[in-house]
Chain A
């Protein structure tokens, strides 16, 4: 059993060796993270004493990793912040979601009728760490693009539902602002589409169609994967200037990567601290969900 564990941990470590993960980016190790999930289940046998933190936690709970800027770090502040985050998570279910997932957020609103408001939209951006973690939802309502910034740990949020759990090809979807409105239009009364338990998060490889220029940003410079018709609207001069600002060497810049990320050892320490609590919360939610999900069939044959 011991040998088995050692081999498994070695294979896991090989997968993650030299791959430091940019906070909120799920791109470079998608397959690895997905592959690691079933392996972890094997590892948790009776002979394993220490709970090994699942490798996908850094993607599910990215806000638990602090800001990597060294001048702003302090162990005690980070610890207090994590305790507060766990306290909040005991009160409300903050589910796993990614940029590209469709969410419905119910929050208290003193100005709304009934004092609550519900907004459905696609998550186009996720940023910041700790209690400041926030995300942007976008939808088109009455032909008007609407974006709402929600803070994940804001106590006025009453409920966060994931209607469709999926990822997109890019780390942020700000280009939806310049895309045709049908790409960011979602039904307000949309029903949740549950995924099978243990299934990997699907990647939606839809390519959005942009409107003609002028654009809000120079999308041609950003190497976007989820845009179909960027070539249609740019001229040679744009192409040239885009080439000029490219920095293809940055992916080899280990120091830059090191400064922009939390080292793997520290990530393990952080998640080892919060893992048991998060795991019990997860189990509790699952149990509650199973109780709730039994619905009497509407249509009888």
Chain B
């Protein structure tokens, strides 16, 4: 008897819950800065103690680093090391499987270096953001059968995909912890400041040590750019949600930038989830999708993408992916699994999309009808 009553009650509650489905934005994620790192976090920076290393030993450490990874060098506008022990780019591995639109390729780690306008050949002005691919190397590839992450990324049919770990911006390993350097041990790549994992199809697998350049993408294609938006701190509704606020005078007291009413009474007498209220603004991962690549500079590894809405601040890190928008996927096969750059001298630095006006061309004129 009691059991049935309880189950009825439970059903009632369940029904009630199902009926009042509310739109829950943000999924309860807090975006305020985390005060402590998660338990699985691997410390990166070694604590810099003033340990008694003599100048001689210090130079010895430097020598060892230069012997293993090469001397410091400025490669494609980025300060790094000559890593001659890595895969030579002219040894192109032959890809066996053809490209299909369903294939997921590797992405790139880049820095947003600024924005400036370009003009199309019809005279239209477009705003572009410059993304510089900073010294990317493949560190590890995990095939689908071995890839069992504890924190599952939100990818459909994850069991079909492997994972590529990519590092960007080589740095002095003496400043890093032993366990962090261990990530790079098998690949032979110099430890890097930044890491990213990309979920890829097995056809798009890359060998550890492969350098990734901007030639991985081509002009005219579309990319998704993921970055962490600029953090504005705890903001009110006027700045955070664009509320209008209330007048400065005419009898208004103490409610110039407040949200006003936040809900009704009676049945709905509560603050509904998703109500726009003050809170932390920015500091969230965001993806801008379907940005066209207008121009590529291979000398400095820079690409010009559409618009000025790329998340993050100037000089901030962003991740570039092939777009997932179905109508903007490439029609012809992109470089698979990536473009292995040949050391050619005659190739031009700049690759322009056909619609973009090259500054080396003459002024734009219109033909009279």
Contact = CB atoms under 8 A, between A and B. Distances in A.
Contact of A92 (B116, B297, B363): B363
A89 to B, nearest CB: 9
Main SS of chain B's interface residues? loop
Main SS of chain A's interface residues? helix
B119 to A, nearest CB: 5
Interface stretch (A17-25, A150-158, A201-209): A150-158
Interface residues of B, number: 28
Contacts of B130: 77, 80
B123 interface: yes
Question: Which residue among A153, A156, A158 has the maximum number of chain B CB atoms within 10 Å of its CB?
Answer: A156
B113 A77 contact: yes
B361 interface: yes
Contact of A154 (B119, B297, B302): B119
Contacts of A81: 116
Given A84-B359, A131-B117, A155-B123, A76 B364 contact: no
Contacts of A151: 117, 125
A132 B125 CA distance: 11
A128 B123 CA distance: 20
A151 to B, nearest CB: 7
B300 A80 contact: yes
B114 A72 contact: yes
Contact of B297 (A80, A114, A130, A157): A80
B194 interface: no
A88 interface: yes
B366 A74 contact: no
Given A84-B359, A91-B362, A110 B113 contact: no
A130 B361 CA distance: 19
Contact of A132 (B116, B300, B302): B116
A108 B365 contact: yes
B171 interface: no
B152 interface: no
A132 B358 CA distance: 16
A72 B365 CA distance: 34
A153 B300 CA distance: 23
A236 interface: no
B303 to A, nearest CB: 11
A107 to B, nearest CB: 9
Given A76-B77, A84-B359, A155 B300 contact: no
A115 interface: yes
Nearest to A116: B365
A87 interface: yes
Question: Which residue among B300, B313, B359 has the maximum number of chain A CB atoms within 10 Å of its CB?
Answer: B359
Contact of B113 (A74, A88, A130): A74
Contact of A158 (B116, B297, B314, B363): B363
B365 A115 contact: yes
Contacts of A78: 114
Contacts of B313: 71
A273 B171 CA distance: 29
B114 A74 contact: yes
Given A77-B116, A108-B366, A155-B364, A88 B125 contact: no
B342 interface: no
B29 interface: no
A90 interface: yes
A293 to B, nearest CB: 23
Contacts of A92: 363
Contact of B364 (A71, A84, A108): A108
Interface in A208-227: none
A108 B315 CA distance: 36
B368 interface: yes
Nearest to A153: B359
B367 interface: yes
Q: Which 9 A-B pairs have the closest CB atoms?
A: A77-B114, A87-B359, A74-B113, A115-B366, A77-B113, A156-B123, A88-B359, A84-B359, A131-B116
